[in-house]
Amino acid sequence: MRFAFSTLGVPGMPVRDVARLAVGAGYHGVELRAHPEEPVHPGLGAPERAEVARVFADAGVEILTVAGYAKVAEAQDEAGEAALADELAGLVGLAADVGASYVRVFPGAGDRPAAEADADAARRLGAIAPIAADRGVTVLLETHDSHRTGTAAAQVLGPVGHGSVGALWDVMHTWLGEEDPITTQAVLAPHLGYVQVKDVASAEDKTPLPLGAGVLPLAGCLGALVQDGWDGWLCWEYEKRWYPAAPPLPDLLRAGREHLEHLLQVAGKEG
């Protein structure tokens, strides 16, 4: 498997420094948080996008994802529908221009009836799918908020039925949803783009911790992936942006990668 980390863990860090950090810590790629407060976002012009792509290409680091904040299951009026479609198209365009494989989106249904939210999300993802395919990008629905389990995400992704729309497995949210990793892997296998790993102290205290220092079932998640023969990307999402008192991510990156490698070795032997 290959390893990446999210720039959510190094908020505001210039892209050159992100690339150097990835190389120095032995990571193969990065997930770029696409928000206006970050160096990479949909408002960038063509020259800036080309420069981002060049910086990472020169460093030999892959831009795995443009991590957007579009909510595809959220209730919208007519104007909101148009704005959401533009937002999705903008994220796909940004990903294509900087050379990213994926765009991350959220469900964001809130307390809407599940059937209604699922239908809207599937329709919207189905509409962006051919645009993404034309640009060589895959849009991934993260297991998050209203659809935190793999089972819930699959209820949206199954009806879409397009190769340019898939799933991003956030291991914290499936754990919060009390879904067993084997179940998550089974239902997401036809759709899985990659996996976000992290660690926290408890369901009540989600302050990011070094990998292996918390309660999340990382061994079980990686074991399920290995048993199924999956060999993709693991991305460490360390939520420093939301927890500024958390220890700096750069000091933890190398040990985090080594911990994941150890878990994979153990899983391989047990499998």
Q: To which residue do tokens 């898939």 refer?
A: 166
- How far apart CA 111 and CA 109 sit, in angstroms, is 6
* Percentage, residues of the chain above pLDDT 70: 100
Closest CA to 24 of 204, 184, 256, 250: 250
The pLDDT score that the predictor gives to residue 269 is 81
Across the range 151-173, mean pLDDT stands at 98
* Percentage, residues of the chain above pLDDT 90: 99
Using alpha carbons, list the distances in angstroms from residue 113 to 123, 147, 192. 16, 12, 25
Judge contact between 233 and 207, C-beta under 8 A. Answer: no
270 confidence band (pLDDT: 50, 70, 90):
confident
Query: For 205-241, how does the pLDDT look when each residue is reduced to its tens digit (9 = 90+)?
Result: 999 999 999 999 999 999 999 999 999 999 999 999 9
> Residue 99 pLDDT more than 90?
yes
Query: For 38-87, how does the pLDDT look when each residue is reduced to its tens digit (9 = 90+)?
Result: 999 999 999 999 999 999 999 999 999 999 999 999 999 999 999 999 99
Residue type, 236: W
Q: Which domains occur in the chain, in start order?
A: 2-270 (3.20.20.150)
Tell me whether strands 138-142 and 62-71 are parallel, antiparallel or unpaired.
unpaired
> Residue 271 pLDDT more than 80?
no
Across the range 154-162, mean pLDDT stands at 97
Judge contact between 42 and 94, C-beta under 8 A. Answer: yes
Return mean pLDDT, the chain: 97
Judge contact between 135 and 110, C-beta under 8 A. Answer: no
Judge contact between 34 and 65, C-beta under 8 A. Answer: no
